[in-house]
Chain A
Amino acid sequence: MKFTVLNNGAVCGTLTFTDNLYHFDGNSACSVFIADSVRAGLTIKSDVCVDGVFSIIQKPISHSDRLFPYALIGHLRDSGYVLYEFLEEVEATFQNILSAVAKDEAFYAQLRERWSVMSTLEKTYLLDLLEKDSVA
């Protein structure tokens, strides 16, 4: 899993999980925040349903637990960070579009620049528009 991490609308860096290990590539403030949070110990929030009652519970989670990445993601979201997931298929589709417009250098540059600052919602909305159009 890979996420673009933002704080107050500004990109802080990229958070990647590989085999339960996290790697953050970005500004030092966010990097320190993540390291401190992991060191202090994380809790994971989940929702259990017992006898028709849904209860959101918080449980401590260890670094080796398979749910560790989700605990860290949840912690960052609860701490005011916004995470845009890097969706490989969406990115690959965009690369196809980019390669098709490579001849139009200005549009290529504009498209690539805009794409780099788009949210998950904007990217998927744009591709949905294009997909609907190509089907039509």
Chain B
Amino acid sequence: MSEDLRFENLALQEALQQTYSRNQALREKLHEDADSIQDARSEQRRLKGMLMGMSTIAAIATALTLHYNERTQKADIKIQELQDANEQKTDALSTLARRAQRYQKEALPMSKNSHVVSAEEKQLLIGSFEERVAILRSRLGNDYIDAILEQTNKPPSAETPLVIESDSEVSTSELREYIKGFPTEWIKLNIKKIRIHKEEFGSVNTYTRTGRAAGEFAIASDSINIYSSAIKGKYRITFDQTVAHEIAHGNDWVNNEKLNVQERITLLAKIAARVWSRDRFVSSYVESINHKDPKTANVRQCEEYFAEVASAYFNCPDVLNYKDFQIIHELVTKRDPNFNIEEAKRARVYSFSTNRFL
């Protein structure tokens, strides 16, 4: 009997041992499951966090999109308003002109007080080709005029794609869009490369040792360098003016490859007549020119005057005398008849994806 009980006890002990082992295994499994659940919960929390982050980003993106859409709409409305106002002004001007014409007979002769045109100025504007060349020779020097006349047989250089480089915060794609806001023909043949440097100023290596260059145009390579000082200002005006000024240099009577000799001399004569006129556009670029040789000074004044009035034409034509406006407008629309100043300005404004200038 005791033997039976011992066997039974052993069997029970064995069963207990097995139950204990199973229990142990189940506990371990339970721990593993608990760990898995813990991991799953952590993953769930992480995913929830990500989801919330993504939702926040999505909400911000939606808000930004709405904000920019609203701004774009406002800008479009403002542009439309300006265009309407412009049209109204043009209509008002025509009406005024028509009504004023009725009083012409009673009005004192316009020439009595209007700008006194000197004989030289008159010759430059309406004289024959030879007469204009003679005046220009006497004021600007034979070498300069001969160099222009010799360009008759110069073959136009091959059209090459415009190279755009930037080390600065303005990207090359932004700059490429920006350049589309200028007459196509002004860029296509006469400007080969535009580069924006990260350096604040370029170096000027000669008599202007105290000066620091914000923009450059190199005649030999038809390339423009813009330095970051032109971008860093609070307003974009400096950048706009600097780029337009340098592009204009590439399109004057010396550098514009599309002009024939007649056109070069005509353009130079028109600008010269304006430079020596009392109602010329006031610009530091022109007034600061000082050279011991008066002919060299005259040449530089003409070149700078052209670049300045062209820059004003693209950026703020309202400040120009109509005589200056007409010179640039004729030059631009001769080869780009569809060029529209306001549309071009808008294209330049929208070319920057960031709001660094706003």
Contact = CB atoms under 8 A, between A and B. Distances in A.
B100 A97 contact: yes
Given A47-B307, A57-B211, A74 B284 contact: yes
B97 interface: yes
B242 interface: yes
Contacts of B121: none
Contacts of A85: 281-282, 319
Given A70-B282, A70-B288, A99-B108, A54 B93 contact: no
A56 B235 contact: no
A32 to B, nearest CB: 16
B46 interface: no
Contact of B249 (A54, A80, A84, A120): A54
Given A46-B289, A121-B318, A56 B245 contact: yes
Contacts of B317: 121
Nearest to B299: A49
Interface in B316-335: 316-323, 325
A101 B105 CA distance: 11
B212 interface: yes
B114 A53 contact: no
A107 B114 contact: no
B2 interface: no
A133 interface: yes
A131 B113 CA distance: 12
Contacts of B281: 85
A12 interface: no
Nearest to A66: B287
B354 interface: no
Nearest to A120: B319
A56 B214 contact: yes
Interface residues of B, number: 72
Interface in B201-223: 201-202, 204-208, 210-220
Nearest to A80: B235
Given A47-B285, A126-B97, A56 B322 contact: no
Contacts of B288: 44, 46, 67, 70
Interface SS of chain B: helix, strand, loop or mixed? mixed
Interface in A95-122: 95-97, 99-101, 104, 107, 111, 114, 119-122
Given A111-B100, A128-B322, A130-B104, A58 B241 contact: no
A130 B322 contact: no
A99 B245 CA distance: 41
B110 A96 contact: yes
A89 B279 contact: yes
A19 interface: no
B93 A96 contact: no
Interface string A27-64: 00000000000000000111111101111111110000
B158 interface: no
The 8 closest A-B pairs by CB, nearest first: A57-B211, A70-B284, A119-B318, A124-B322, A100-B107, A55-B213, A46-B288, A92-B113
Given A58-B229, A131-B114, 9 more contacts: A48-B207, A50-B205, A78-B241, A85-B281, A89-B278, A111-B96, A121-B317, A122-B89, A133-B101
30 contacts: A44-B284, A44-B288, A46-B285, A46-B289, A50-B204, A50-B205, A50-B208, A52-B220, A53-B219, A55-B211, A57-B214, A58-B212, A70-B283, A77-B237, A77-B241, A78-B237, A80-B237, A82-B316, A83-B319, A100-B106, A101-B103, A114-B92, A126-B93, A126-B96, A126-B97, A127-B110, A128-B323, A130-B100, A134-B109, A134-B110
